[in-house]
Amino acid sequence: MFGTSSIIESLSKDKSLEYKKLCKILKLTKKEEKVRLDIALNALEELEIISKNDNNEYFNNEINNHLVAKIRCSSKGYCFAVRDDSNDDIYIKENLLNHAWNGDKVLVRIIKEGVKRRSPEGIVDCILERNNQFLLAKVEIIDESVYGVPIDDRILSKILLPKNDIKFLYNPEEKNIVKIEIDIFPIGQLEGKGHVINELKLEKDENIDNEFVLTKNNINNCEKKIALKIIRPEVKERLDLTSKRSFMFNSWKLSNSPLLPIFHVDYKEDNQIELWIHANSLAERIDFTNKDVFDFFKLNTESYPLANEWSPFLCEDILKASQFKIDKKNEAISLCIKLSKDLEIIDYSFHLTYVKCKLILDEKHLEALVNRKSKTRIISRILKPLKESISDLDFFVNLSTKFRNDQLKKGKIEITKFSNRIESISEYYVHSPANYFNEYLSPLNLNDSNTYLSPILYVADSIWFNHSKKCKLANASFYSQNLDYLNINELIKQSNLITNDIELDEDGTSSLNKIFNISEHGNNKRILHKYLINSLKNNEAISLEDEDVDKSFNNISGFAPWTLGSYDYINLINQYTIFNLFKNGKKSNKGSIEVELLKKDSWELINWNLLNSNNLKISKNLFNKVIIQKCNENKSKLQNYKSNMINLKQIREAEKLIGNIFKGLITTVQSYGFFVELSSLSVEGLVHVSTLNDDWYEYRSRQNMLVGRKSKNTHRVGDEIKIKIIKVDILKYQIDLEIVAQNQ
C-alpha cells in the first residue's frame, strides 16, 4: 500500500515524472489503487506541495511553506508537531489536527509565530505517513453503535466497528482488550472504520503479553512476505584461517538470536600481537541487484527478542548458511588489528577468509577465567576443555578491559543495568554488543560475556568509520555527541547530590565526572543513573554518502557498525560496502601502483574512483536516507518495546504481591507524589500525594521535595521508606503504593 509520503519521495524538484512512471515506481496496477492515487495527487496539487508541468508530468515543489514533522500528543490533550531540524515544536490545537494521530508524519503550516516562551502554532495540512495500522482498544457501545475506544489516550479518535464485534464488549474482570486493524482512517466528517482481528484477555494470561506490547508500540511482527534471494559466495580468493583456534563469547540464550563474530589471536615477532575479528559474511549472500530487496528492508530493519525466541530481520536460510558452528568451515569478513606490546594499534587490514569456530564460551567460562589466580598451574574443571586457548582468552579479556578504559578516558560514560529477578525477561537484560543508539556504555560484567565484546567491536567499528570516510565511501554511522547539553545543576538537584561533599566551580556548578566519582556506590549511583538515562539523547544513524563525507563530520569521531550483519540493517549495509570493495574495488589507475584498498592508510595513495557507476547505484539505494530514517524510527520503537515488556512483566510480579510490605528508595519527587523503587523486585511504583493522610504536603521544586505544612515532615529523593503495594494497572504499566508506618 502506498502513502502520501511515498508519492512525495518518488518525485523530485529537478526531474519531472509522468503518471505511468509514477504508477510503476509505486507498483500500482489495480484500477482502485490508481483512483486513490488520483485523489492524492489532486490534493497535493491543491496544497502546492507538488505541481504538474505542460507535459502533464509531476514534480516536487520542495520549497513551500510546509514543514515535515511528527505529531506528539500528551495524555492531557496537548498536541505538538516535532520537527526534524530541532527547532521549536509547533503547538497544534485539537481542531487543527485534521485527524492526525500521535506518531503520524505530517506536513504542518505555521499560522502564528511563537513569541517569547510561547511555541509557534500551526495546522496539519497533510498526513504523510500513518504510525498506527493497528490499535489496542476497548469495545464499547456508543449511541447504539459499536466502537473501539483506543486505550492510548493520546489517540483522539474512536473507530467504528462492525456490529458483530459487539461480542468483544469490554469486561473489566477479564481486561479483554482487542487488536483492531484500521480499514479507513477518519477524514473530514467521516469516522474511522476498522475490525477486530484478535482479542487479548490480559487478566492472568501472560501468553498474550508479547502481542499486547508489540501492538502498543506499533510493531507489526508479521511474516516476511518478500523472500530474499540467497546466492553462494563467488569470491574464491579467501585467506584460509581454519587452522586457527577461533572462539566465540555469547550470552544470548534464546533461539534465532543474532550471529556473533568469532576471534583468534596470533603472537608475532617483536612482541607484536594480532587480534583477528571474524564477522559472519551475510552481505555477500544477498542479491542486492534484486529490485524487491529494498521493499523487504523497508519492512525488516532489526532483530529483537520475543518471549521464547528472537524475531530475526533476515530470512532463516541466509542465517543458517552464515552461522559459525563448531569445527565447520565458513566464509567470513575479517579485520586484523596489529597491536604493540603496550596494546596500542599500529596497523590493521580487512580480509575475506575461511574460518572455523573451535569454542563457544558463556559467562561461566568468563567468570572462571577472570577469577582464577594467574600464576596457578591448577586449571578448574570448567576451564580444562579450554586448556590450549586459555592464554588467547586471557589476552582477549585484558585487551577488552584496556580498550574500555581508553574509551572512558576519552569522555564516554558507563551506566549500570541493575539486576533482574524475572526469568521470562532475562534475555532483555543481555547486552547487545556495539549498540550505539544509546549515548552510554554498559560496564564489563562477568555475568554477561556479551559486554566484553563491546569494547573490541567499538574499535572495529571506529576503524571502518574512519577508513570508509577517508576513502570517500558511503557508510551508515553513529556519531559521538558532546554531552554539553546535560544540565549538571539539574542533575545535582534532581538526584539530591547537593547534600554530598561536592566541589562546585565559581559558577556554582560541577562536571559530570565529579558527580560520577561521588556517586560510585550505593543509592546515589542508582538515582544518578536513572536520571542520566532519562536525560541522555539517543544517537541516530546517519547515511553519509561519498559526496558529503569531507563537507561535514570531517573531524568528528563515529562508528560504522559492520560486525553484526544479522542484528540490523545498518550493520548489513556497512558490511556490504567492505565486501563490495573486495569484489569490485578498483585497485589502481593508469600509471599508478596497485593499492591494497582495505589496509591502513591506503587512502593516501588513492586519487581515483574506487567503484564504477553500477556499484555506486546499488550503494546509493542501500544507503537511502529514507530507509536509514526508518531504521532509526524502528530502533526507537524497539527500545520502547523492550522497556515496556520489562515493565509489564514486573507489574505481573507485583500483582502477585498486593498487600505485601517492602523497603523502597525514593527516586523521583513531583507535585502529585513520588516514585519509589523496590530494589528487591527491581520495580518502581507511585505514592500519590492523596494517600499521604498524616498532613497536607506542599511541593518545593527548588529543593525537589514534599514538605508537610504542620509536621514539616519531608519526602525527598534518596530517602528510604517502607511501602505497601495496593494496586496495579496493567494497561498503564502502573503500580500504586502507599507508605507504611516505620513501626509496622
Residue 98 · residue 69 · CB < 8 Å: no
Cell (9 digits) for 54: 505542460
Q: Going by C-beta distance under 8 Å and a sequence separation of 6 or more, which residues neighbour residue 214? A: 220, 221, 641
**Statement to judge: residues 581 and 680 lie in one domain:** no
pLDDT band at 552 (very low <50, low <70, confident <90, very high): very low
**Statement to judge: residues 363 and 444 lie in one domain:** yes
pTM: 0.89
pLDDT of residue 399 exceeding 90, the answer is: yes
**Per-residue model confidence (pLDDT) at position 519:** 61
Q: Is 254 a member of any domain?
A: yes
pLDDT band at 495 (very low <50, low <70, confident <90, very high): low
Lowest mean pLDDT among 31-45, 145-159, 176-190, 260-274: 31-45
Q: Which residues of 492-527 are buried (b: 16+ CB within 10 A; e: fewer)?
A: bbbbbbeeeeeeeeeeeebebebbbebbeeebbbbb
Lowest mean pLDDT among 177-191, 361-375, 412-426, 489-503: 489-503
**Per-residue model confidence (pLDDT) at position 200:** 92
Nearest CA to 347 out of 335, 363, 358, 359 is that of 335
| More confident position, 17 or 432 | 432
Q: Is 545 a member of any domain?
A: yes
Q: Is 646 a member of any domain?
A: no
Place of cell 573531524: 555
pLDDT of residue 257 exceeding 90, the answer is: yes
pLDDT of residue 609 exceeding 80, the answer is: yes
- Mean pLDDT for the stretch of residues 376-384: 75
pLDDT of residue 607 exceeding 80, the answer is: yes
**Per-residue model confidence (pLDDT) at position 360:** 95
**Per-residue model confidence (pLDDT) at position 507:** 55
**Per-residue model confidence (pLDDT) at position 382:** 87
Phi, psi of 3 (to 5 degrees): -130, 175
Indicate the residue among 611, 638, 665 that finishes a domain: 638
Indicate the residue among 129, 149, 165 that finishes a domain: 129
Q: Is 393 a member of any domain?
A: yes
Q: Is 491 a member of any domain?
A: yes
Task: Tally Cβ neighbours within 10 Å of residue 647.
Answer: 19
Range of the structural domain that residue 70 is part of: 66-129
DSSP SS3 for 40? helix
**Statement to judge: residues 560 and 675 lie in one domain:** no
DSSP SS3 for 17? strand
pLDDT band at 516 (very low <50, low <70, confident <90, very high): low
Q: Is 688 a member of any domain?
A: yes
**Per-residue model confidence (pLDDT) at position 500:** 56
Nearest CA to 579 out of 247, 280, 292, 274 is that of 280
Per-residue pLDDT tens over the stretch 44-91: 888 888 888 888 888 888 667 788 899 999 877 789 999 876 678 999
**Statement to judge: residues 305 and 403 lie in one domain:** yes
| More confident position, 247 or 625 | 247
**Statement to judge: residues 70 and 97 lie in one domain:** yes
**What percentage of residues in the chain have a pLDDT greater than 70?**
91
The CATH number of residue 168's host domain is: 2.40.50.700
Q: In this structure, which amino acid lies at residue 497?
A: L
**Per-residue model confidence (pLDDT) at position 377:** 59
**Per-residue model confidence (pLDDT) at position 504:** 55
**Statement to judge: residues 182 and 299 lie in one domain:** no
**Statement to judge: residues 473 and 352 lie in one domain:** yes
**Statement to judge: residues 319 and 440 lie in one domain:** yes
**Statement to judge: residues 566 and 707 lie in one domain:** no
Nearest CA to 74 out of 98, 87, 95, 92 is that of 92
| More confident position, 399 or 294 | 399
**Statement to judge: residues 529 and 560 lie in one domain:** no
pLDDT of residue 16 exceeding 50, the answer is: yes
Q: In this structure, which amino acid lies at residue 714?
A: T
**Statement to judge: residues 475 and 489 lie in one domain:** no
- Mean pLDDT for the stretch of residues 643-648: 92
pLDDT of residue 468 exceeding 90, the answer is: yes
**Per-residue model confidence (pLDDT) at position 63:** 61
* Secondary structure in 3-state letters for 510-545: CCHHHHHHHCCCHHHHHHHHHHHHHHCCCCCCEEEC
Per-residue pLDDT tens over the stretch 204-235: 778 889 999 999 988 876 655 667 888 888 77
The CATH number of residue 108's host domain is: 2.40.50.140
Q: Is 505 a member of any domain?
A: yes
Per-residue pLDDT tens over the stretch 151-196: 998 898 999 999 999 999 999 888 899 999 999 999 888 899 999 9
Q: Is 223 a member of any domain?
A: no
**What percentage of residues in the chain have a pLDDT greater than 90?**
51
Beta strand pairing call for 239-240 and 345-355: parallel
How many domains, in total, are found in the chain? Answer: 6
pLDDT band at 551 (very low <50, low <70, confident <90, very high): very low
**Per-residue model confidence (pLDDT) at position 731:** 86
**Statement to judge: residues 610 and 633 lie in one domain:** yes
pLDDT band at 387 (very low <50, low <70, confident <90, very high): confident
